[in-house]
Amino acid sequence: MKVAAEFIFETEDAGSIYRAVLPELETPVSDRSVIGMSVSGSYLVLNVETEDVISMRSALNTWFRLIQIADGVLQASDSTIKQG
């Protein structure tokens, strides 16, 4: 059973987050999922296609975490710059 999902994140840092995770898009982690990501203005769009629900859960855990980490690093660096 094929499974597909699309998630849209609205953030001013969409382009920066995209560039931060781009190397991960270029090197697939698994052959059981296909990941697509794009930016449209302040929207980061994540598309995931997998062969089964287990692969979907695994892919989403990975990509949500990567996006969360990239956003966290951007927020921390912005905070440091503003304090300095």
pLDDT tens digit string along 65-77?
Answer: 999 999 999 988 8
**Whole domain around residue 28: which residue ranges?**
3-83
pLDDT tens digit string along 8-39?
Answer: 999 999 999 999 999 999 987 788 999 999 99
Number of domains in the chain: 1
Residue 78 has pLDDT above 80, yes or no: no
Give pLDDT, residue 83: 58
Give pLDDT, residue 81: 62
Name the nearest CA neighbour of 32 among 6, 7, 11, 1: 1
Which amino acid is residue 40, in one-letter code? S
Q: What is the CATH number of the domain that holds 21?
A: 3.30.310.50
pTM to 2 decimal places: 0.87
